[in-house]
Every structure is written in C-alpha cells, then in structure tokens.
Amino acid sequence: MGKSGAVRSDALPDGGLGPPSMPPAVGAAGNGLTRMTVNLNRQAVQALEQVSSATGYSKTDSVNRALQIYAIIHAIMERNEGVLRVAHLDGEVERIYLV
C-alpha cells in the first residue's frame, strides 16, 4: 500500500480490484459479523492503539483491516518464496520476512 492507501490489483489473491472476497464466517450472525475474544500482548495493544489513533478507525475496524492486509501479504509471500519485497521511492528494495 502506498501513502494514498491504494492496493495494486496484482497484489490481491483473486486478482480483483477490491479486497479479496471472503466467505461468510462459520457461525456468523445474520449481520455477517462474528463476535470473538482475542488476547493481545502488550506490543499488539500498543500497535492497535497507535494505528487507531493515527487513522481515526475504531479498534474493531483496525483489526478487521489488519487481518485483510495480512491475507494479502501472505498471498504475495506464497507467490514469492516466502519473501515480501518493498520498493522504496529511492529505488532501494527491502526484503521482509515474517517469522
């Protein structure tokens, strides 16, 4: 994602122009939402608060977006031998490994 927030369509697992389509969650309520309890460590809580504050999104929206982005990153890494490459404006290419 660039500063504009746009995601390149070739980065999406289904090759579409929007977020990948997700099947309804098992046990989803009639409104398509699933209530979950999640235990976050201190670093995750700090990251969630920072992102929510910086973007203006609620914590729920931030978690939903983070999981969708993680799915996209995972698909990219599967296609690229487990590596995510980020090209910076100065031409430097950085390799990111998730462990």
| pTM: predicted TM-score of the whole model, two decimal places | 0.62
Residue bearing the bigger pLDDT, 22 or 89: 89
Which H or E run includes 96?
Answer: strand 93-96
Report the range of poorest mean pLDDT among 24-28, 76-80, 81-85.
24-28
**pLDDT tens digits, 4-57:** 343 443 444 444 444 445 455 555 556 788 999 999 999 999 999 999 999 999
Helix, strand, coil percentages, rounded to 5, for the chain: 40, 10, 55
